[in-house]
Amino acid sequence: MTCARIVNGTLSIAGRRTVMTAPEILAALEGEAAAKAAARKAKKAGKRAREAKAEEKKLLAAQMEQAKSAKIRAVQAAARRDMRAE
């Protein structure tokens, strides 16, 4: 962004090409590029956070399912022991 760019000038009514190398314009362009990069970075961070939360939910659901099946196995084993004891 520190080199000259030729753009359609909005300063001219005729819309002639102008070289915009003024420090204010270059600073505005650099600021805009930095804002876009910051927005992109924030979007990626949000996506990573959502993915991490989804992974955490999957792990929690798997743990709950394991606990549920262990409880069912324990009840079934107790029922088998009771049947053998009779």
pLDDT computed for residue 12 by the predictor: 44
Tokens 């970075």 sit on residue: 41
What is the tally of structural domains in the chain? 1
Q: For residue 19, what is the enclosing H or E element?
A: strand 17-19
Of 67, 1, 4, 5, residue with least CA distance to 30: 1
In a structure prediction context, what are the per-residue pLDDT tens digits for the chain, which is 86 residues long? 455 555 555 444 455 555 666 777 777 778 888 999 999 999 999 999 999 999 999 999 999 999 999 999 999 999 999 888 87
Is 1 inside a domain boundary? no
- Name the residue range of residue 20's domain: 6-85
Q: What is the pTM of this model?
A: 0.52
Is 55 inside a domain boundary? yes
Rounded (5°) CA angle 41-50-52: 105
Contact 9, 20 (CB under 8 A): yes
Is 21 inside a domain boundary? yes
Percent of the chain with pLDDT over 70: 74
